[in-house]
Amino acid sequence: MKKITIAIDGFSSTGKSTLAKQLAAYLGYTYVDTGAMYRAVTYYAMQHDFINTTSFDKEKLIDSLKDIRLHFVFNPEIGYAEMYLNGQNVEREIRTIEVSQFVSQIAEVSEVRSKLVEQQQEFGNTKGVVMDGRDIGTVVFPNAELKLFMTASPQIRAERRYQELIAKGENVSFEAVFENVVTRDAIDTTRSDSPLIKADDAIELDNSHLTREEQFMRVLDLVNQHL
Ligand code: C5P
């Protein structure tokens, strides 16, 4: 059967990765979570104290990019690939609110973006890929057969992210999560390199009032039009 590239972009916590995982599992495609890659670089920068609440040493991070190796390893127990940073599984570490607080600053750095985009394009050079992020339909795969752009109200997105973090045992307040979602959207949409924008040929999907199943069925319809 014909295989395609599916690019999913959108604001923070719009359920991009949930949808991407569902699609990849159903279609037998590879799922690539590009946000995890920016998060892993952020975690590295935090560990080396290149970034903290008072300073960000961009040059040191740029100099160290050559020492950062990222790869995904499929975990059959959970059904998707986990993020490894220099050989260490960092899947848990990269999902914390602390990493979320710095990641958009790291993602503004062009040198970081070009390193990660190159690797993402390699992952996708065989078709049969679902990739989610902020610039997949505009920069990484401008020729993707299907592009989705996901939105939902900030309140609903923050609520979903808050519930996720609480379920993982994180000690966060709803206000902190809401603030983080809104701040990241602001940085992501206004940065000069690869800002988050809807590609002209992307299909917008507002899932504020859709169940996971409704959304999945709707997207499956779109996928089938391209197969
Ligand atoms: O998708 P996720 O919320 O994990 O992404 C974390 C952050 O990584 C985003 O807020 C954004 O700053 C950055 N990002 C990006 N480009 C991508 C994916 C993520 O700039 N393709």
Kindly state whether residue 99 falls inside one of the protein's structural domains.
Answer: yes
In 86-197, at which residue ranges do the beta strands (DSSP E only) sit? 88-89, 129-133, 146-151
- The tens place of each residue's pLDDT in the chain, 227 residues long, gives 889 999 999 999 999 999 999 999 999 999 999 999 999 999 999 999 999 999 999 999 999 999 999 999 999 999 889 999 999 999 999 999 999 999 999 999 999 999 999 999 999 888 899 999 999 999 999 999 999 999 999 999 999 999 999 999 999 999 999 999 999 999 999 999 999 999 999 999 999 999 999 999 999 999 999 98
Q: Is 194 annotated as a binding residue?
A: no
Kindly state whether residue 225 falls inside one of the protein's structural domains.
Answer: no
Kindly state whether residue 227 falls inside one of the protein's structural domains.
Answer: no
* pTM metric for this prediction: 0.96
Counting the structural domains of the chain, the total is: 1
User: For ligand 1, what atom is nearest to the CA of residue 136?
Assistant: 21
Q: Is 189 annotated as a binding residue?
A: no
Regarding the beta carbon of 107 and ligand 1, being less than 6 Å apart is answered yes
Kindly state whether residue 68 falls inside one of the protein's structural domains.
Answer: yes
For position 188, what pLDDT does the model report? 97
Provide CB contacts within 8 A for 40, sequence distance 6+.
68, 70, 83, 85, 90, 94
Q: Is 15 annotated as a binding residue?
A: yes
Torsion of CA 160, 173, 108, 190, to 10 degrees: 70
User: For ligand 1, what atom is nearest to the CA of residue 17?
Assistant: 1
Regarding the beta carbon of 103 and ligand 1, being less than 6 Å apart is answered yes
Dist. CA 16–CA 59, nearest whole Å: 32
Regarding the beta carbon of 134 and ligand 1, being less than 6 Å apart is answered yes
Q: Which two tokens stand for residue 119?
A: 């690797």
Kindly state whether residue 148 falls inside one of the protein's structural domains.
Answer: yes
For position 1, what pLDDT does the model report? 80
Burial of 174 (0-12, 13-18, 19+ CB in 10 A): middle
Dist. CA 111–CA 91, nearest whole Å: 23
Kindly state whether residue 226 falls inside one of the protein's structural domains.
Answer: no
Q: Which domain holds residue 14?
A: 5-220
We report the CATH number of the domain holding residue 134 as 3.40.50.300
- Among protein residues, the one with the nearest Cα to ligand 1's atom 20 is 107
For position 13, what pLDDT does the model report? 92
| Distance (Å) from CA 1 to ligand 1 centroid | 31
Give the relative orientation of helices 212-224 and 16-27 as an angle to the nearest 10 degrees: 50
For position 142, what pLDDT does the model report? 97
Dist. CA 91–CA 74, nearest whole Å: 12
